[in-house]
Amino acid sequence: MTIALVNGRVLTDHGFQSGFAVLIEDEKIVGLALPSDPRVRAADRHDLGGHILLPGFIDCQVNGGGGVLFNDAPTVDTIRRIGEAHRKFGTTGFLPTLISDDADVMERAIDAVNEAVEQGVPGVLGIHLEGPFIAPERKGVHDSAKFRVAGADDVALLARRHGGVTLLTLAPERTTNDVLSQLVANGVVVAAGHTAADYDTTRAALVAGVRGFTHLFNAMTPFTSREPGVVGAALEDHDSWCGLIVDGHHVHPASLRVAIAAKAKERMMLVTDAMPPVGSDNPDFVLKGETITMRDGVCQTADGTLAGSALDMATAVRNTVEMVGVPLDEAARMASTYPAAFLGLEKTHGHIAAGYRADFVVMDDNFNVVETWISGSRA
């Protein structure tokens, strides 16, 4: 049965368009059509009530949600619960993110993602391994006891196939450019983050295949007059992507505006770095034996260190519009189209066009999520 989504303001590659129906068959979009089209008249019509129809949000950095943390139990059930929690906020694709841990835990996490993909757990696009090849000087809340230097022996583990994307965040100075090239050659998407690298080291890593930067500004060397640092290298580079945590706490709105203006177009994407409080009534959780508390939308340790976020993607889009001043169409693409391209999924995800996955978020004018669709099914 064909489903026709009607009476919505649809974000297409040409901007917002009204008066068109979005036709869905077998989990995919088959086209946009006028209401007079025979396919629309014959379809099972779903009225969007004049709301905004956006490509489903894709979050590359999801540590937890729904009261659970991926590190605590890297299982299919944990992945499912995290996905269910974030789906309420328009996330239709996500990478369960494992914070720096031992090799055996990394193996279990990769295996769990593989099983989740095989079982068809909604929204799972792969895995994000954030560490353990990161810099002690920029560790954030990561456990430095887990850190190690990435060598050739790690390539086989990191390149294990699991039916989805593998994203690895590392510090370029904690490995070699040869290992970076091997990882990329084996299909791993590599991002620089939690790094004390200088500008030259970062530039060399980009040449070796680093594709993006994890939560720009946070846990990396800053941009200064005589040493551009990781931030300067990231903003100068035309081909890489940068993740932004737009929660009003991780990065000042003015810094975000400057970075967005400086970076090449279509290379800024929204991430949440979400922790268990998202989609949960419990503001507290435990990370590596330390209790983290969420107050006023901020997750932090007892000494005030930021520990991920309590951000969801719908709020990230709202903040990007209201706090940073980005138009809604561009903010929505930062949450969908651009992360899809970063992950190499630009031909299947992130657009409302024929041939793409039928992943959508329906929002009202106040940025509230009204409906979420994954693979043509309303969640």
Q: Is domain 3-54+355-378 given the CATH code 2.30.40.10 in the classification?
A: yes
pLDDT 10s digits, 309-354? 999 999 999 999 999 999 999 999 999 999 999 999 999 999 999 9
- Cβ atoms 283, 67 nearer than 8 A: no
273 is catalytic: yes
| Domain regions of the chain by residue span | 3-54+355-378, 56-342
Mean pLDDT of 138-148: 94
Mean pLDDT of 85-97: 98
Q: What whole-number distance in Å separates Cα of residue 129 and Cα of residue 100?
A: 7
Please report the pLDDT score of residue 241 as a whole number.
98
pLDDT > 90? residue 287 = no
The binding site for substrate comprises 141, 218-219, 226, 250, 306-308
Please report the pLDDT score of residue 21 as a whole number.
97
Catalytic, out of 237, 273, 312, 359: 273
Average pLDDT score over the chain: 96
Q: What whole-number distance in Å separates Cα of residue 178 and Cα of residue 141?
A: 29
pLDDT > 80? residue 160 = no
Q: What is the DSSP string of 113-176?
A: HHHHHHHT-TTB-EEEEE-SS--GGG-TTS-GGG-----HHHHHHHT---SSEEEEEE-GGGS-
Mean pLDDT of 80-109: 97
Lowest mean pLDDT among 50-59, 86-95, 153-162: 153-162
Per-residue pLDDT band for 302 (boundaries 50, 70, 90) equals confident
pLDDT > 80? residue 283 = yes
pLDDT 10s digits, 237-276? 999 999 999 999 999 999 999 999 999 999 999 999 999 9
**Peptide bond preceding 276 in cis form (omega within 30 of 0):** no
Please report the pLDDT score of residue 303 as a whole number.
86
Please report the pLDDT score of residue 144 as a whole number.
94
Cα Rg, the chain, nearest whole Å: 20
We find that the CATH architecture of domain 56-342 is Alpha-Beta Barrel (3.20)
pLDDT 10s digits, 185-241? 999 999 999 999 999 999 999 999 999 999 999 999 999 999 999 999 999 999 999
Per-residue pLDDT band for 152 (boundaries 50, 70, 90) equals confident
Burial of 298 (C-beta count, 10 Å sphere; 0-12/13-18/19+): middle
Please report the pLDDT score of residue 61 as a whole number.
98
Lowest mean pLDDT among 51-65, 152-166, 232-246, 250-264: 152-166
The binding site comprises 130, 141, 194, 215, 218-219, 226, 250, 306-308
The helix (H) or strand (E) run that includes residue 253 is: helix 253-262
Q: What whole-number distance in Å separates Cα of residue 204 and Cα of residue 64?
A: 33
Please report the pLDDT score of residue 296 as a whole number.
83
Is the pTM above the cut of 0.85?
A: yes
> What percent of the chain stands above pLDDT 90?
92
Mean pLDDT of 76-84: 98
State both tokens at 154.
């790690």
